[in-house]
């Protein structure tokens, strides 16, 4: 049995776990560097994405992970850049996830804009690799996505291949 719940990733002075926007029990928090944090919640926190964007004034990424099999990921920025994708999309489809509103190219374009607004340097090719990745755990694919978006302390999918 895998993890089911929401993971939030934001740049803040301290862990977003203490933010009123995160109205759920925190199972784990992680600091990546340069002010970037993630919090893994026990369950969901409706409205947390929007709440953290408002509280931090910075881009935030949210991923709802289902049994560690797939993740529904959404990025949002203060200027309104908004994108959504599934990690392990075929598995998400088998769980009954609805079709996405944006094409893969539009999702990639918006993810690049999200990264730029966050002051990061995303890699288009690495993003596409992540969108097609089929790791055992969706959480590993999420880490690869964060690396592809340029979040400090994480590397995109090619780094794992290079390290092996």
Q: What are phi and psi of 40, to 5 degrees?
A: -105, 120
Other CB atoms closer than 10 Å to residue 162's CB: what's the count? 8
Residue 85: per-residue pLDDT? 98
Other CB atoms closer than 10 Å to residue 142's CB: what's the count? 23
Q: What are 92-124's pLDDT values in tens digits?
A: 999 999 999 999 999 999 999 999 999 999 999
In the predicted model, what is the mean pLDDT of the chain? 92
Q: Three-state SS for 56?
A: helix
Residue range 129-139: mean pLDDT, rounded: 96
Q: What are 3-59's pLDDT values in tens digits?
A: 999 999 999 998 899 888 887 799 999 999 999 999 999 999 999 999 999 999 999
Angle of the 138-149 helix axis to the 124-131 helix axis, nearest 10: 170
Residue 23: per-residue pLDDT? 77
Q: What is the pTM of this model?
A: 0.92
Per-residue pLDDT band at 157 (split at 50, 70, 90): low
Which residues does 132 contact at the CB level (< 8 Å), separation at least 6?
none
């Amino acid at each position: 049995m895998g993890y089911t719940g929401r993971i939030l990733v934001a740049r803040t002075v301290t862990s977003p776990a203490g933010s009123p926007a995160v109205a759920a029990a925190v199972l784990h928090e992680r600091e990546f560097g340069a002010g970037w944090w993630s919090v893994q919640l026990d369950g969901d926190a409706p409205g947390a994405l929007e709440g953290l964007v408002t509280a931090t004034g910075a881009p935030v990424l949210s991923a709802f992970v289902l049994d560690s099999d797939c993740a529904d990921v959404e990025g949002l920025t203060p200027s309104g850049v908004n994108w959504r994708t599934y990690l392990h999309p075929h598995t998400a489809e088998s769980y009954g996830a609805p079709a996405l509103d944006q094409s893969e190219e539009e999702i990639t374009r918006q993810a690049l804009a999200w990264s730029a607004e966050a002051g990061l340097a995303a890699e288009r090719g690495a993003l596409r690799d992540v969108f097609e990745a089929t790791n055992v755990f969706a959480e590993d694919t999420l880490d690869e996505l964060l690396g592809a978006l340029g979040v400090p302390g994480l590397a995109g999918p090619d780094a794992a291949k290079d390290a092996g």
